[in-house]
Chain A
């Protein structure tokens, strides 16, 4: 293979990663049929694979792909009366601007429209996540299935059902009006956050981190910020992702074992990501009251900017958790707060804060509650209680890396 052609193939891979959502969103506008648009976009990428190595990579790959995809769609639509459409056309407000075959001057960016449709409240959260990964990120059904640990046929059925609902229930292909936009953006942010947390600590399996999902979440957050630059909640989520993910390389050792925050090699943290994240936190905290992602990101920033575990400003972290619990009274947040109290005021205080959460039904079966108790009990030398707590945490954990870690802590008692 010549350098040119391998460069061209690399460009196609890049364009798949960066432009899929843009190309698809513009094509859906024309077809008003998601399946048809997906087929045409796939065809455009297939053509790029043969054309770019010979003719060179276009200056604007997204526009090139969109032109090819829309031309393919126009061909189908012109012949189209032959094809019986399975589903009604998508509803959209404005008619599609008149199409011309040689329009490569660029297309309006319809990705916000597409992601708002994927995250419509009439779709289940599972469907929202699946559609977002599939339509905005271009993941195959098999890849989406793998991300959420379900079989490919289950995921295929889920995606088909969701597309059918969009069409049959007349979910409009549009950005909601200003009154409804904040609520919709909240749903979009929840979806991106879910993709991130699923990747950051995989719920089960051999690896702690699913890098592909983390990176998709990063891409989606960056995309959303480009589309709505003034939204502080988006800035907050992006900051949270950047600051948390900046520690990725140090969260596991060479052998894949879990390394606690206290023991991570801080010189290996991704400092450009930390600077960018910290800057975004400042932007995100400007809104009053600060949103939950902004506060979580602020907490991550305190950790990221601390020179060492011992030099961490635990008082600041507890204060941020106090604010977070107010706007987001979730038991998991309360658990994190209790852990911070333990580091700020001593293991005894931490245990007391944890004890207050013992009857929280949402935390029953939550391994981190037992694991945190076990750590504080160990510090206090209450070994037999610590043993029980570690054993309980082990029963509740399905991620292999976390299990190994807990087993080692237990053995070291």
Chain B
């Protein structure tokens, strides 16, 4: 989990240095926490290092997460339960549901023996948020 902590901290520093809005910074932090803890769970003991890159082009932020674990597309997960009453509600799957819905675009590809997830959104999409 230390890798997750370190990457989230690096993203916070990137967000501050590049003047990202609080809204965009927080949406990416939520998504990154989900994606990285997912990779940590599914990567298995043979999982090599996870590579995370942040890129801001104009107002478009792109974050890529790559690992060399066996092919795994987190976006294949079934929709999470977001409507059952409390008694039946399960928390499983909510994380990837958030990744799918919080950001403008999320894309998975398996290329060159690596899993690559590309997350993108714009800095100015929700200017009225705090």
Q: Does A associate with B in a complex?
A: no
Interface set of A (CB-CB < 8 Å, partner B):
none
Interface on B for A, CB 8 Å cutoff?
Answer: none
